[in-house]
Amino acid sequence: MSYITYEEYTANGGKADASAFPRLARLAEKRLNYWTQDRITGSNEDIKLCMTIIIDAMHAEQSGEMDVSSFSNDGVSVSFAGAKTSEQKWDDVYRQIVEILPVELVSLCV
């Protein structure tokens, strides 16, 4: 069972292109299942939103967008204060997922 279609993903504002979507969606589904300990039994709007967030994060990570902490252009260097590591960025994504999904899907104590 797939949690989200490409059409639903783009309707949620997803940024990955159609050719990258199938692989990213499978990886995102595996990550979401890991985070919820395989407690998801069907898809709903919250699951689709979570999938969109995870797929976009994966797309940003693979395209290098997630890791930009500084850049140089024509002799001018810019560094971003507070740039986060990849692990910190994934922690942020996880926190978003925990805020969206019901506690019985994401709690370690259930």
Q: pLDDT tens digits for 27-48? A: 999 999 999 999 999 999 999 9
With contact defined as beta carbons under 8 Å apart, do 25 and 55 qualify? Answer: yes
- Among residues 49, 80, 86, which one has the least CA distance to residue 64? 86
Burial class (CB in 10 A: 0-12, 13-18, 19+), 98: middle
Give the single-character DSSP code of 78. Answer: E
* Single pTM value for the model: 0.81
**Euclidean distance between CA atoms 66 and 68, whole angstroms:** 6
DSSP letter (8 states) at residue 85: P
Q: Along the 110 residues of the chain, how does pLDDT read in single tens digits? A: 689 999 999 999 999 999 999 999 999 999 999 999 999 999 999 999 999 999 999 999 888 765 555 556 667 776 665 667 888 899 999 999 999 999 999 887 75
